[in-house]
Structure 1
Amino acid sequence: MQVLLSFPHVLGTPGIGTTAWHQADSLISADHEVHVVAAGVARPLPGAASVTTSLAAKGLRVPHKALGRDRAFRWHDTVARSVLARTPVDVVHLWPLAPGLTAAAAREAGIAAVREAPNTHTRHAWRVVAAEIEALGYPAERTAHTHDAAHLAMEEAELGAVTGVLAPSAAVADSFIAAGFEPHRVLRHRYGRRPSPRRAVARGADTRPLRAVYVGLGEPRKGLHHGLRAWLDSRAANDGTFTIVGRILPAYARLLQPQLQHPSVRVAGFADDVDAALAAADVLVLPTVEEGSALVTYEAQGMGCVPLVSTAAGAVMDDGVHGLLHRPGDVAALTQQFDRLAADRAELAELSGAALAHAEELSWDRAGEHLVLAYQAAIDAARSARAVAV
């Protein structure tokens, strides 16, 4: 299969940059021909058919802010469209944000185009996050999920032109269908986990205090406040530990200060070695209220760390088999889960072993197989649309 991957950010950087890099790498490993257009490249991509950097001059990267973010996104889209015009491909894979120039060109040429949805539909995400902030009485700090009319206009132009939307979780798929997308245009796939050099072992049934870890940005959207409240309401907090790995937004940290000062809570800050933090814990806590499909839920299983996550986290796992799920904001359910596993180490050991075994299914190579199936569905849809037009 010949693929054009358009990524208007820096490929290989933490977050979505890592996700997009692994997608391209998994396709290349499966002998697909991949042409990449990215704003910049932080990590080489051996085997790519071609790599074009859209925001570079004389070998140096041009920051988005130097052009203005919206102008930078439009310029990237223009470059990607020009690459498409001279490159025969079967499918175009677009990542947000772009004003839809490449998507429209693909549609006009009868080429399938899919657009990644790393989070729920933007209107849904804004609504959910705004409601959480209001409920907290929180002085909002601007984040990627703050209302932005210009970005919404870009997104809607692109979404209107593509063959389908790539949804990495049921929560994402449901949000797009609720926003009016035809179900056949919402294509399910999933993300993956990178292999770790760290040896992973299942947790034992020995009696010892429960060790919980939260990994990620501390912000209302991720629900850290729900996790802390559930932890402090549980008996596990009497002798266990709740470690926070990641930066906490300043105003949010001030809001949570009383909970953060509890003797059982440890604020570790940002860490490069996330696997070490997961290996040192029994359970991963991610009570997020809005998400796409959090990579840390994949990584946790690879370390035998049992996910205690909300249904909004987009975790690829079976409830009660590889981890435990709760509804977003359901503090009582999460409290019961802490108590349950703190009291029953045998169940914790069973869940940990099952999660570790399941991690074999969560590789990026397996994710690539799901991605190719989604591509094929889009190609078939585009072919059918061409036949109808004729």
Structure 2
Amino acid sequence: MRVLYSFPTRLGVSGIGMTAWHQVSGAAEHGAEVTVLCASNERPLPPGVRVVETLRPAGLKVPFRVVGYLRALDWHDRRAAAALRRLAGRIDLVHAWPLRSERLLTTARRLGVPSVLERPNAHTGFAFDAVEKVCADLGIPVDPSSPHARQPGKLAIEEREYALADRLLCPSDFVARTFLDAGTPASRLLRHRYGYDPGRFHTGGRDDSGRPFTVGFVGRGEPRKGLHDALRAWLRCGAADAGGRFVIAGSIEPGYRRVIEELLAHPSVTEAGHVPDPAALMRDCDVLVLPSVEEGSALVTYEARACGCVLVVSDHSGAPGTDGVDALFHPAGDVDALTERLRSLWTDPELLARLRTESVRGAGELTWSAAGAVLTGAYREAAGAP
């Protein structure tokens, strides 16, 4: 399987840059011949992966700020489309990322090369609506700098990309559902998933004896991720006033902080800020809570499972797990349901231990290497290969 993988920004940096890096590495590990086009590559890839850096002409890196972010993305799309034309007959499948893949996907369609489009989040129209609603409920405006602030032009671009790609790669059932609800035929949706690095995230050194019941929230404090719901449920479940701990790892948006400051002030709540080693923090937590109103498939949920945290997450988090077997899910925005799930784990140590055991047992199937096998299977299906 010969794959042209197009990623329009920096490959191998934190966030989606590492997600894309792991996808390329995993696909190569499982036999795909990958040619990567990226703005720049910041981390060595496995031998055999060919890399073309579209913003590093003659070995000189051009910062995004010099040419402008959107102009850089547009330049990358042009370069990717030109590369596909040159490689016609030597590429079996195109894997594109959203927002400025229109030329590449158009070229793939013209040449008859099957294409898949990564969907790291829910349908963008759904995401805009969800963020606007939660901010309205909180009485605050949507942060205009947020990638989830409504931008009609962005939505129009992405909807054209949705239409041009042969298949949409959905990392969770939740993401797929938002596309089905928007009218996308099920036949155009391909399920795959993300993963975690077992070298960083594991249960080694975990000690659950003598520690108070501890819940962790790891991620940016913003309305979309539902920290306000997590704190409200925490203060209602009973553990907060019985010696329990709620630890927040990550920065909190200033405007959002103003509406949750009373919740943050409770003595059971600790703000750890940026944590350089989130794995160590999660090994010191019983539960990871993530009541998001919109996600793609939150990487922290994979990592938490590997560290022995039981997931208590919303059905919009895209988390890997089965409710009541190795995790506890609740309807997004339902604070009463979230409260009950936290209370059940606090008051029933046997339930907590059982869910943890099952969660850790299944975590070995959620590594980035395992995700690479799933991704190459999706490639074969999209390309019609055996």
- Give me the TM-score of the superposition, normalised by structure 2: 0.95
Distance 1:198 1:184, change over 3 A: closer
Aligned partner of 2:107 in structure 1 is 105
Q: Does 1:324 align with 2:328?
A: yes
Once residues 60 and 256 of structure 1 are traced to their aligned partners in structure 2, the CA distance between those partners, rounded to angstroms, is 46
* Corresponding residue SS for 1:209: coil
Residue pair 2:200, 2:279 contacting (<8 A) in 1 also: no
* Corresponding residue SS for 1:37: strand
Once residues 211 and 300 of structure 1 are traced to their aligned partners in structure 2, the CA distance between those partners, rounded to angstroms, is 13
* Corresponding residue SS for 2:40: strand
Residue pair 1:202, 1:356 contacting (<8 A) in 2 also: no
Aligned partner of 1:172 in structure 2 is 175
Once residues 151 and 48 of structure 1 are traced to their aligned partners in structure 2, the CA distance between those partners, rounded to angstroms, is 35
Post-superposition CA distance 1:37-77 (Å, at most 9, x none)? 01111212122431011122443332333222222111100
Aligned partner of 1:219 in structure 2 is 222
The offset of 1:201, in angstroms, is: 5.7
Post-superposition CA distance 1:274-329 (Å, at most 9, x none)? 11111010000100000000011100110111000001111111111111000101
Q: Does 1:236 align with 2:206?
A: no
The one-letter code matched in structure 1 to 2:362 is H
Distance 1:38 1:198, change over 3 A: closer
Aligned partner of 2:377 in structure 1 is 373
- Give me the TM-score of the superposition, normalised by structure 1: 0.94
Aligned partner of 1:209 in structure 2 is 212
Aligned partner of 1:245 in structure 2 is 249
Once residues 68 and 203 of structure 1 are traced to their aligned partners in structure 2, the CA distance between those partners, rounded to angstroms, is 45
Aligned partner of 2:95 in structure 1 is 93
Residue pair 1:202, 1:353 contacting (<8 A) in 2 also: no
Once residues 336 and 207 of structure 2 are traced to their aligned partners in structure 1, the CA distance between those partners, rounded to angstroms, is 26
Once residues 70 and 198 of structure 1 are traced to their aligned partners in structure 2, the CA distance between those partners, rounded to angstroms, is 35
Aligned partner of 1:344 in structure 2 is 348
Residue pair 1:322, 1:354 contacting (<8 A) in 2 also: yes
The offset of 1:269, in angstroms, is: 0.7
Q: Does 1:130 align with 2:108?
A: no
Question: Residue 287 of structure 1: which of 284, 291, 305 is its match?
Answer: 291
Aligned partner of 1:300 in structure 2 is 304
The one-letter code matched in structure 2 to 1:60 is L
Distance 1:64 1:152, change over 3 A: farther
The one-letter code matched in structure 2 to 1:20 is A
* Corresponding residue SS for 1:313: coil
Aligned partner of 1:14 in structure 2 is 14
Residue pair 1:121, 1:176 contacting (<8 A) in 2 also: yes
Aligned partner of 2:265 in structure 1 is 261
Once residues 162 and 279 of structure 1 are traced to their aligned partners in structure 2, the CA distance between those partners, rounded to angstroms, is 40
Once residues 255 and 43 of structure 1 are traced to their aligned partners in structure 2, the CA distance between those partners, rounded to angstroms, is 40
Aligned partner of 2:142 in structure 1 is 140
Once residues 145 and 313 of structure 1 are traced to their aligned partners in structure 2, the CA distance between those partners, rounded to angstroms, is 15
The offset of 1:123, in angstroms, is: 0.4
Once residues 45 and 205 of structure 1 are traced to their aligned partners in structure 2, the CA distance between those partners, rounded to angstroms, is 37
Once residues 334 and 202 of structure 2 are traced to their aligned partners in structure 1, the CA distance between those partners, rounded to angstroms, is 34
Post-superposition CA distance 1:99-149 (Å, at most 9, x none)? 510101111111110000000000011001101100100133220101122
Once residues 191 and 275 of structure 1 are traced to their aligned partners in structure 2, the CA distance between those partners, rounded to angstroms, is 17
Once residues 164 and 26 of structure 1 are traced to their aligned partners in structure 2, the CA distance between those partners, rounded to angstroms, is 20
Distance 1:3 1:198, change over 3 A: closer
The one-letter code matched in structure 2 to 1:63 is P
The offset of 1:198, in angstroms, is: 6.0
Unaligned runs of 5+ in 2: none
The offset of 1:177, in angstroms, is: 1.3
Aligned partner of 1:387 in structure 2 is none
Question: Residue 280 of structure 2: which of 276, 287, 297 is its match?
Answer: 276
1:60-75 equivalence runs, <5 A: 60-75=60-75
The offset of 1:360, in angstroms, is: 0.6
Identity %: 45
Once residues 322 and 240 of structure 2 are traced to their aligned partners in structure 1, the CA distance between those partners, rounded to angstroms, is 26
Q: Does 1:119 align with 2:121?
A: yes
Residue pair 2:313, 2:329 contacting (<8 A) in 1 also: yes
Please list every run of at least 4 consecutive aligned residues from structure 1 whose deviation after the TM superposition is greater than 6 angstroms: 202-205
Q: Does 1:83 align with 2:86?
A: no
Post-superposition CA distance 1:204-245 (Å, at most 9, x none)? 886753100000111000001100110011111111010000
Post-superposition CA distance 1:126-176 (Å, at most 9, x none)? 001101100100133220101122322321222221111000111110111
Aligned partner of 2:55 in structure 1 is 55
Across the two proteins, how many residue pairs are aligned to each other? 382
Aligned partner of 1:386 in structure 2 is none
* Corresponding residue SS for 1:256: helix
Residue pair 1:193, 1:362 contacting (<8 A) in 2 also: yes
* Corresponding residue SS for 2:91: coil
Distance 1:259 1:29, change over 3 A: same
Residue pair 1:283, 1:305 contacting (<8 A) in 2 also: yes
Tell me whether 110-119 or 48-57 shows the greater mean CA deviation: 48-57
